[in-house]
Amino acid sequence: MSIGKALKLTIPAAFFGYAAFANYSLLTSDVEGPKWAGLWSGEVTQEIDTIYRANLPHRDPAVGIIGAVRYIALGEGRDGVVVGRDGWLFSDEEYRPLATAPHGLDKTVGYIASVRETLRAAGAELVVVPLPAKLDMERAQAGEDAPSKRIEQDYAAFLRALDGAGVETVDTRPVLSQRPDPFFRTDTHWTPAAARDVAEAVANSGRVAIGDASFDVVPGPAVSFTGDLVSFVTSDSLAPFVGLRPEHVTPYVAEAVAETDADGGMDIFGGGASGAYALVGTSYSANPNWSFAEALKLSLAQDVLNYAEEGQGPVAPMAAFLSRLASGTEEVPPVVIWEFPVRYLTDPALMDRAEERQDA
């Protein structure tokens, strides 16, 4: 028997062995069992599931160990991740064809065009900044070329559709394709260097006016973190032992330089929030580790207020921002920069999230 086949057989054997032990431990414990009165209504099934989830012994370590063994033996992770070459991890969201998106590209672009009209009526201009997929930019590490080409075509189709709808955009793919590894190895996000490249592309696009504010770059403390895709493979504690080592980044902030006003006094706000541009988007913008808002300040010489949100996709934060403008709680900015990763175009909940935030 080959070593590979032996390893493949080890995983199910270990799984069933542990399952027998876990069930014995659960049955001999003091955990209250399901209420069998709900057998015919189907409620007992949900109760059993809850009991196992809450009380299974060694659940978290077991999941981590089994995931680590599967990754070493088979080069696979759980649903949610696709393992590429040399330990590179990719979100399975990027493998969903745009043609199968339930809401369709036309609906998404139609919504973006309606946002443009809403902002224009309020006195603000919209600039959409689409972001290409990690699967596209890191295709040498992906293994399969066909999915990378498909999502590259999706990005191009998105740009064409936005242009056809009269929406101002900045094509970020050329600058990112020139940078070696613009994305992290085990995380879905871009590096601060890639974020800075995109900020400079926005400034050089002619779509956004350049200001005259001055900023100092203040580096923050170095940060080590486990990539967000590692959780689909194994636990954080076991990840380094299977070659999924922590990522490292040094975020920074752009602090406004105090200027002397006409009366000889010091303007400590360097122009302040009045007239500041707005940034709306996803965790690519919201997470301070990537420093995208700070990079925009430096490249545009203009203050930027960050309204991006993590874990909500690109559409829901925009719906929330529009609600704030409509309520009068926020000053209307002259420019709204909307960071929009192309991988969200196939998110089934993309437009639902917008409707939920509008109704809130």
Is 86 a known active-site residue? Answer: no
Residue 331 carries which side chain, given as an amino acid letter? E
Q: Measure the CA–CA gap between 171 and 177, rounded to whole angstroms.
A: 11
C-alpha distance from residue 253 to each of 184, 291, 292, 307, 347 (Å): 20, 7, 10, 16, 32
Q: Measure the CA–CA gap between 15 and 5, rounded to whole angstroms.
A: 16
Q: Measure the CA–CA gap between 326 and 309, rounded to whole angstroms.
A: 19
Q: Measure the CA–CA gap between 301 and 280, rounded to whole angstroms.
A: 18
Q: Measure the CA–CA gap between 16 and 149, rounded to whole angstroms.
A: 40
Is 103 a known active-site residue? Answer: no
Using alpha carbons, select from 67, 102, 100 the residue that is nearest to residue 83.
67
Q: Which of 189, 197, 291, 303 is catalytic?
A: 189
Is 283 a known active-site residue? Answer: yes
Q: Which of 91, 283, 285, 299 is catalytic?
A: 283
Which three-class secondary structure string do you get for 50-97? Answer: HHHHHHCCCHHHHHHHHHHHHHHHHCCCCCCEEECHHHCEEEHHHHCC
Pull the structure tokens for residue 176: 């990112």
Pull the structure tokens for residue 84: 């590429």
Q: Measure the CA–CA gap between 358 and 28, rounded to whole angstroms.
A: 50
Q: Which of 103, 148, 154, 187 is catalytic?
A: 187
Using alpha carbons, select from 242, 199, 210 the residue that is nearest to residue 68.
242
The residues carrying an active-site annotation are 187, 189, 283
